């Protein structure tokens, strides 16, 4: 069914397979009057694109975006924005063998169970390449957030067993190293760890942390569309995500109420503040004006060169060694995907909040 | 905005405040022909209702459900089912003071920021009492799951620092002890821990685990409505949830691919199986026919008798001591709420999957 | 499936059967801060309720509305508003015979085909009594329109062959005569015509016209949610409607472009106007700031005392004479239903239009 | 806002402007396993494309469709289907003048009011060219209807004052004459009438009739998604439509109940039939298994060469003579658009009906 659409007001519909003609997205519900150029989108696509580090697939794709509609004289017109990225590096590869196997850790088996067959070329629709369209749409969402003063910052918190040290936190490092880690020392250790995994024909997982600054209080729609609920859905929709937590997260389950409650406090300057942010910026499903903070756990890349056991479509036990172009870690390339999904969600719920009070609506009609 | 609706095909719309006239739900999209009686719903409401343990609020509510429409001669008719539970034990309490304070850990501040004011009686719409309507609707969803052979089992995995020992796992215990813990030894320890918290006028958090058995492969709608994504949204929509993980969850982030991948295997009886279930029963966002497994972290009850610091609506720093009827833990009562949200989600996506293949649709029209 | 929900932002979910416990509606998405009292709703319900004229069913129902949630201290809180009207005059009637017949002109046959069986008491969900809930919700929508300066005026344009004379148009008459006709002379003729139909144990149809004044330009969402398209859907959702037209309507099909085009003109006072309004206030699916004008054709009441031929559920040809309480015309009571559906639609699309331009959104966040 | 999406289960999202790069559609929710080739779509696009008769615009567009995703080895995969048609004949035309005028009968004024500015090249998004994407999506919907045995037949019922004579009804003529009229004599008269309008630099309107055969009973979702309601919305979403009626339509308003009611009758062969079809195949918003019949009134083409009066964006009264490529009638080219919108709607509600009964759902899971 219709699972490739996202958003209620700022609605996107993505399409495309790993080895099809192209990938793209239609954005329906972008307001008129936002300056938009291909380069605004390209810069985010460039952060996602393959072949940029020793730890990402060498698939060589320029991933150039085309704006096909919805923009006129450099501004959005309020009509649907269609964005497309052509696939140019589909290798003429023999997929006969893989078409008959269920790769461990992949969606081969479940797609076959659901649809009766599947486009097995490079994972088809279940490939991480699908996120290209999300990043393109996310870049448009970020333009809107920028107009509203909201910033999203995601980064690699840990790779396998190596975590950043918050005392060394340096946001500039996010863009400076291959791994998106805001701690140059941890980044170096993680690189060494990855080299090792690569040598073993193996892969690893990791955790991404995401912070949102500048989001006004009031965003989120209880009771089923609490801000954390809709963000969690957005984040779990990224392939390979196995866990999401906000603020104190799982640790809150072992805290007492008196420890976990964030106490409000008026500063001498008359500004309301909180003494802690265990809530991660969301109370009762509504943003409280303090930074949103969440962590997203990614499983290791399932495609590894190491030999594995599996079953084929004829129901026979077989050995498998997955050929192709594998990333030993997908976390660094997923950082921009996390940002994109958070951006798409925030725009949708910022828009919804415009309609929360009658007085705001009346103001809009003046 | 419209955040109290849930589901696309099996759609519910809940309403009601803690101290209003009543709470209820309209179910729009329930198929015709399902046997349904008030007692089917009442038994789940009874699991949720207050006053059943030394660790739950003594608020005395019978929580009797009325079926107001959509059922005729003991069967659902295909038209909307309206369920209502009257509030009978709203205390004539003086809310003047609380109406002017932002209680730490509560949604008082965010509701005021969003809507300009709030129904402050007992938390209004942000009260846990709102889940009554979810449980009522969930009971109807479970009737459908029953017809399709799907079982949901949730239980308390841990309370504060005390976790169950999986070697002592006994499902009968879930219903036998106050705490919903399937391990009588851990339950006893947890009870002692809670007594202690209560004496300190404090509260604690905990973790609920949920397993789904009998779900066919193929459920979930990539790419944005992956089964884990929509379940996560459903679970995070429950107040006090701070983290959700599936299968190996956060631990997967430190595993290598060769460890984490679930290997397929054909048994001698010719049945496809998996050697592990790190995926938690979901691959590429689609159920794989193996048990769904997830864990949900709850923060401690924010209402505690211990004195706290906060700010009032006049912007002054004040001391607060929250009067009223507090649970030192909400986890045991949330077990049935978790089951309900999982049930509501599964029905919706089971229904959607009926439309995944043209051959199934043709069969339906024969 | 879920067909009893209406609206995207101002979302309603109605429920209830003709002879069930009650009828009601949940409004999810009503902004906070709107003054609302039961009497605001009751006055519209009173316009719809039966037993008010010699030409409406003598069913004696007070149709008293209860506000069960979403309103606090006389104002909407932004949370769902639940409204309920108890059925009090279900006659203990023997439905055995009717349960086995397909009444001509009714939905008996189609409900059985769709759902396998039906609540046959008084038409169940397919009864006109279902519109009670729409009128209750519509009254809330009108409160919002009032805040935005929008007025809706519907009236009976014709009953059977008798139409109003626009030269005698008098809006006060809409409320002054039983028939909602803004022309006292036509109303008198129509009453005589209806008396005659009643004597013949027969019924008649008619046309309602609806005008909207004060709607700003810009409302409607091309291309699939053009304002006329969504209004038409809303109007055709009322039982017994067989045709809808806007502005020149069907007559436009025989006009030439030079006749039909509305020419724009600047008045001496510098106000943009149109020399005609063949478009009925909508151009390209968007309101143009001039009055919306549409006409809605209703079929005659299908329930008549006159003997008819039909088929029973055993597949036998039988004679039928429909007992019960029949209106010889439903048009006058449908006037308020038309107003309600138009109000619900306009609120939804007024809200959507707040998000059409980035500059408006930015203003809302200031 | 998001008005370019249509459908709940078989969901489409269209995009593109008259003089932009391309037009297209993403279909999200197409079941897997349907044979689909570009030629299936091309044949419907060819029926819509310009330049095929003396009465259609000479714009020369091949309108070749590309399938960019969702089809693998000649069958739909269940993932989104992206279809695109490049614009190739955008004339390098000077739009300076037209950009400053509000053309009578066009959406220029309302787009400016809504969005603040507009893509004025050839009408931008409000151009009839937008329907290209609908026809492409409709062709896919028709493939599904074909699998379910449902046929749609639309045709020109009248052009200006000239209507077909139902005694001369010949369905082969629909495809045989330029005007889509199933009556060769009327078609000849209409052609002469159009020649005359063309000479006068004027245009005319007309009526399309649409019949659906083979639709099973039970389709449509009361109370707000009655089949006639959702079809009406779909039809009114086509530019230039001013009226829609089903079965007896507006004429039903002057009939008596005894005339208008369709009597059920069992034939000697034991088949349930109706003696008349004034209902147009829909009772209580649900298909009754008899032919759906509706009529759609189109206004005359607003673009005419004849001089007209209007206002410019500076608020001055001006004369206007619309240059460009005008059809003196759009009805014949709209026939396939009507078929497409009906097809898209029927597929969506056929799918929804699969979920009406629990027994059907259980059958699907076997």
Domains of chain B: 5-365 (3.60.150.10)
Please name the residue ranges forming H helices in B2-130. Answer: 38-48, 108-115
Q: Using one digit for the tens of pLDDT, what is the confidence trace for D75-105?
A: 999 999 999 999 987 665 678 888 999 999 9
Residue A237's Cα: distance from chain center in Å? 8
pLDDT greater than 90 at residue A296: yes
pLDDT greater than 90 at residue B101: yes
pLDDT category of residue A113 using cuts at 50, 70 and 90: very high
B107 contact residues in A (CB cutoff 8 A): 222, 283-286
- Using CB atoms, pick whichever of D29, D222, D354 lies closest to residue B364: D354
- Using CB atoms, pick whichever of A17, A32, A69 lies closest to residue D116: A32
pLDDT score for A104: 96
CB D221 within 8 A of CB D350: no
- Eight-class DSSP state of B166: G
Q: Using one digit for the tens of pLDDT, what is the confidence trace for D169-193?
A: 999 999 888 899 999 999 999 999 9
| A140-A145-A148 Cα angle (round to 5) | 140
Q: Tell me if residue A320 falls in helix, strand or coil.
A: strand
Q: How far apart are CA A282 and CA A211, in angstroms?
A: 12
Q: How far apart are CA C167 and CA C183, in angstroms?
A: 9
Instruction: Name C366's Cβ contacts closer than 8 Å, sequence gap at least 6.
Output: none
Q: Using one digit for the tens of pLDDT, what is the confidence trace for B261-298?
A: 999 999 999 999 999 999 999 999 999 999 999 999 99
Question: Do D239 and C197 count as a contact with CB atoms less than 8 A apart?
Answer: no
Chains adjacent to C (≥3 CB pairs closer than 8 angstroms): A, B, D
Minimal Cα–Cα distance from A312 to chain B, Å?
9
pLDDT score for A286: 98
D108 contact residues in A (CB cutoff 8 A): none
pLDDT greater than 80 at residue C311: yes
Average pLDDT estimate for C154-180: 95
What residue ranges in chain B does DSSP mark as E strands? 5-6, 11-16, 22-28, 65-69, 71-72, 75-76, 81-86, 151-159, 162-163, 206-213, 241-246, 264-266, 272-274, 282-283, 286-287, 292-298, 308-311, 317-320
* Residue of B6, B27, B243 for testing the chain A interface, max A β-carbons within 10 Å: B243
Chains adjacent to B (≥3 CB pairs closer than 8 angstroms): A, C, D
Question: Do A32 and D2 count as a contact with CB atoms less than 8 A apart?
Answer: no
pLDDT greater than 90 at residue A36: yes
Minimal Cα–Cα distance from B55 to chain A, Å?
15
- Using CB atoms, pick whichever of C78, C216, C222 lies closest to residue A356: C78
Tell me the percentage of chain B whose pLDDT exceeds 90: 88
CB D9 within 8 A of CB A2: yes
Can you state the angle between helices C227-236 and D227-236, rounded to 10 degrees?
A: 160
Q: Using one digit for the tens of pLDDT, what is the confidence trace for B190-212?
A: 999 999 999 999 999 999 999 99
- Eight-class DSSP state of D136: H
* Residue of D70, D73, D79 for testing the chain A interface, max A β-carbons within 10 Å: D79
Average pLDDT estimate for C325-333: 88
Pick the more confident residue, D62 or C360: C360
Q: How far apart are CA B45 and CA B133, in angstroms?
A: 9
Q: How far apart are CA C154 and CA C138, in angstroms?
A: 13
Q: Using one digit for the tens of pLDDT, what is the confidence trace for D25-68?
A: 999 999 999 999 999 999 999 998 877 777 777 667 889 999 99
Residue C352's closest chain A neighbor by CA? Answer: A9
pLDDT category of residue B321 using cuts at 50, 70 and 90: confident
The predicted model scores a pTM of 0.98
pLDDT score for D346: 98
Q: How many CB atoms lie within 10 A of CB C167?
A: 6
Tell me the percentage of chain A whose pLDDT exceeds 90: 88
Chains adjacent to A (≥3 CB pairs closer than 8 angstroms): B, C, D
Question: Do D68 and A24 count as a contact with CB atoms less than 8 A apart?
Answer: yes
pLDDT score for A237: 98
Q: Using one digit for the tens of pLDDT, what is the confidence trace for C8-65?
A: 999 999 999 999 999 999 999 999 999 999 999 999 999 988 777 777 776 678 899 9
pLDDT greater than 60 at residue D1: no
Enter the tokens of residue D287: 């298909």
* Residue of A6, A7, A10, A114 for testing the chain B interface, max B β-carbons within 10 Å: A114
B34 contact residues in D (CB cutoff 8 A): 358
Minimal Cα–Cα distance from A352 to chain C, Å?
8
CB C153 within 8 A of CB C140: no
Question: Do A222 and B126 count as a contact with CB atoms less than 8 A apart?
Answer: yes
pLDDT greater than 90 at residue C349: yes
Enter the tokens of residue C98: 């009717």
- Using CB atoms, pick whichever of B79, B147, B352 lies closest to residue D362: B147
Question: Do A32 and D77 count as a contact with CB atoms less than 8 A apart?
Answer: no
Tell me the percentage of chain B whose pLDDT exceeds 70: 98
C354 contact residues in A (CB cutoff 8 A): 354-355, 361, 364-365
Average pLDDT estimate for C72-92: 91
Chains adjacent to D (≥3 CB pairs closer than 8 angstroms): A, B, C
Average pLDDT estimate for C67-89: 96
Rama region for B233: left / alpha / beta (φ>0; ψ in -120 to 50; rest): alpha
What residue ranges in D182-233 does DSSP mark as E strands? 206-213
* Burial call D250-287: b when 16+ CB within 10 Å, e when fewer: bbbbbbbbbebbbbbebeeeeebebeebbbbbbbbbbb
Question: Do A28 and D3 count as a contact with CB atoms less than 8 A apart?
Answer: yes
Tell me the percentage of chain C whose pLDDT exceeds 90: 88
């Amino acid at each position: 069914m219709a699972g490739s659409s996202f958003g209620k007001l700022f609605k996107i519909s993505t399409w495309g397979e790993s080895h099809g003609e192209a990938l793209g997205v239609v954005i329906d519900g972008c307001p008129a009057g936002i300056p938009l150029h291909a380069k605004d989108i390209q810069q985010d696509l460039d952060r996602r694109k393959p072949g940029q580090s020793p730890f990402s697939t060498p698939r060589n794709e320029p991933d150039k975006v085309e704006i096909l509609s919805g923009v006129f004289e450099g501004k959005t017109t309020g009509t649907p924005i269609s964005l497309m990225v052509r696939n140019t590096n589909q290798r003429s590869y023999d997929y006969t063998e893989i078409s008959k196997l269920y790769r461990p850790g992949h969606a081969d088996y479940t797609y076959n169970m659901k649809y009766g067959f599947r486009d097995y070329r490079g994972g088809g629709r279940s490939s991480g390449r699908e996120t290209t369209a999300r990043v393109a749409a996310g870049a448009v969402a970020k333009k809107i957030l920028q107009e509203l003063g909201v910033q999203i910052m995601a980064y690699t918190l840990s790779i396998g067993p190596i975590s950043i040290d918050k005392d060394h936190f340096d946001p500039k490092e996010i863009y400076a190293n291959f791994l998106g880690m805001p701690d140059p020392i941890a980044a170096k250790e993680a690189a060494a760890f990855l080299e090792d995994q690569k040598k073993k024909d193996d892969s690893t997982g990791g955790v991404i942390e995401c912070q949102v600054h500048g989001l006004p209080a009031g965003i989120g729609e209880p009771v089923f569309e609490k801000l954390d609920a809709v963000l969690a859905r957005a984040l779990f929709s990224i392939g390979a995500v196995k866990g999401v937590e906000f603020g104190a997260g799982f640790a809150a389950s072992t805290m007492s109420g008196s420890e976990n409650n964030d106490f409000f406090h008026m500063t001498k300057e008359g500004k309301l503040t909180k003494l802690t942010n265990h809530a991660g910026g969301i109370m009762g499903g509504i943003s409280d004006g303090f930074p949103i903070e969440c962590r997203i756990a990614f499983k290791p890349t399932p495609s590894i060169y190491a030999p594995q056991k599996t079953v084929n479509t004829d129901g026979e036990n077989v050995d498998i060694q997955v050929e192709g172009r594998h990333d030993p870690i997908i976390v660094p390339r997923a950082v921009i995907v996390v940002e994109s999904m958070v951006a798409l969600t925030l725009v949708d719920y910022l828009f919804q909040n415009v309609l929360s009070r009658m007085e705001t609506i009346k103001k809009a009609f003046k």
